[in-house]
């Protein structure tokens, strides 16, 4: 039987390989990585850096996609949590761009901030905790590709999971409301916008309403104490009528840093030196 760290390494390599198989098609909306806080005590704080990448070739057009997520969470007092994050998307045409069809470089970014509460429902002698939480927040960002627009996103995110010294597993169910604003067609005519479903036949543009998505996130982490490998699958299903191109899944691999563990280790070392 493989040792735990060998299984973790195998899963990580498999996850990275899966990233390269995902389509690189450009989207007007794609879910970012769910911030799974996993806070359980006052003073908890952690950072996560994760992402994905991929390559694709469609009709002689070669492209590359990169997604980067930076996330933080902290608990200043017991049962209160604060989360924040930054996401950057980049879609690059490496060969044979086709501006007439909208096959051009694209980029997007999103800043988010949220607040919520958590509760440790159970804990065993080995330090494994059953944690429940709920967060609400607001994000702002923008995209630029064949068109440009700013965006605001609201979210409500309940979650439940197991948190332990060596292994974490969480499920979060994020509800996101996305509203585009400051729409710029970048010179595209009305027929082009209709072909891309950015304007419907009633003349309403993509920025004419708020779109609602339900986005479950499945997160696993494995490692020791303050550093763990993280893998996450985030799905996205539109609850509103969405005719324009959007992505329904994002798989990411990254690193989790438990800052509270580092702080405790530093304090313990300082006390030992004083003795």
Neighbours of 266 (CB within 10 A): 10
The whole-number pLDDT of residue 263 equals: 74
End-to-end CA distance of the chain: 43
Query: What is the tens place of the pLDDT at every residue in 23-33?
Result: 345 689 999 99
Neighbours of 52 (CB within 10 A): 22
Check: CB of residue 90 under 8 Å from CB of residue 66.
yes
Q: What is the pLDDT of residues 55-84, one digit of tens each?
A: 877 666 788 899 999 999 999 999 999 999
How many other C-beta atoms lie within 10 A of the C-beta of residue 272? Answer: 8
- Whether the Cβ atoms of residue 172 and residue 158 lie closer than 8 Å to each other: yes
pLDDT > 90 in the chain, percent: 68
Can you give the pLDDT at residue 87?
Answer: 97
DSSP label of 32: P
Cβ-contact 74, 45 below 8 angstroms = yes
Give the HSE-up count for residue 116: Cα atoms under 13 Å, Cβ half-sphere: 25
Query: Do the Cβ atoms of 152 and 176 come closer than 8 Å?
Result: no
Residue 267 pLDDT level (bands cut at 50, 70, 90): low
Q: How many CA atoms lie within 13 A of 14 on its CB side?
A: 8
Token look-up 């069809």 returns 101
Which residues, in sequence order, are CB contacts of 35 under 8 Å at separation 6+? 48, 71, 73, 83, 84, 85, 112, 114, 135, 157
Question: Are 261 and 226 contacting, i.e. CB atoms less than 8 angstroms apart?
Answer: yes
Domains assigned to the chain: 4-274 (2.40.128)
Minimum mean pLDDT among 176-185, 196-205, 232-241, 255-264: which range? 255-264
Helix or strand holding residue 14 (H, E): helix 4-19
* pLDDT tens profile 163-194: 998 999 999 999 999 999 999 999 999 999 99
Rounded Cα distance between 69 and 52, Å, is 9
> Six-digit token pair at 244?
């324009």
Going by C-alpha positions, the residue among 187, 174, 169 that lies closest to residue 136 is 174
pTM here? Answer: 0.85
Contact 102, 61 (CB under 8 A): no
């Amino acid at each position: 039987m493989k040792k735990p760290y060998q299984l973790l390494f195998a899963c990580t390599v498999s996850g990275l390989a899966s990233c390269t198989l995902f389509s690189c098609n450009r989207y007007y909306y794609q879910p970012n990585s769910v911030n799974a806080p996993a806070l359980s005590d006052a003073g908890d704080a952690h950072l996560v850096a994760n992402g994905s990448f991929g390559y694709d070739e469609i009709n002689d057009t070669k492209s590359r996609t990169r997604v980067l997520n930076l996330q933080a969470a902290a608990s200043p007092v017991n049962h209160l949590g604060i989360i924040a994050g930054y996401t950057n998307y980049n879609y690059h045409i490496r060969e044979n761009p086709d501006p007439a069809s909208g096959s051009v470089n694209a980029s997007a970014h999103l800043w988010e901030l949220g607040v919520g509460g958590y509760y440790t429902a159970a804990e065993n002698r080995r330090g494994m905790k059953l944690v429940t939480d709920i967060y609400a927040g607001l994000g702002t960002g923008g995209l630029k590709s064949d068109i440009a627009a700013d965006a605001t996103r609201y979210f409500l995110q309940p979650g439940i999971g197991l948190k332990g010294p060596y292994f974490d597993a969480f499920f979060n169910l994020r509800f996101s409301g996305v509203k585009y604003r400051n729409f710029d067609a970048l010179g595209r005519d009305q027929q082009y916008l209709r072909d891309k479903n950015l304007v419907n036949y009633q003349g309403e543009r993509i920025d004419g309403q708020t779109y609602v998505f339900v986005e479950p996130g499945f997160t696993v982490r494995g490692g020791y104490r303050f550093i763990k490998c993280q893998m996450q699958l985030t799905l996205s299903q539109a609850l509103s009528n969405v005719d324009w191109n959007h992505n329904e899944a994002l798989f990411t691999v990254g690193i989790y840093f438990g800052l509270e563990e580092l702080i405790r280790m530093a304090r313990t070392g300082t006390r030992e030196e004083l003795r």
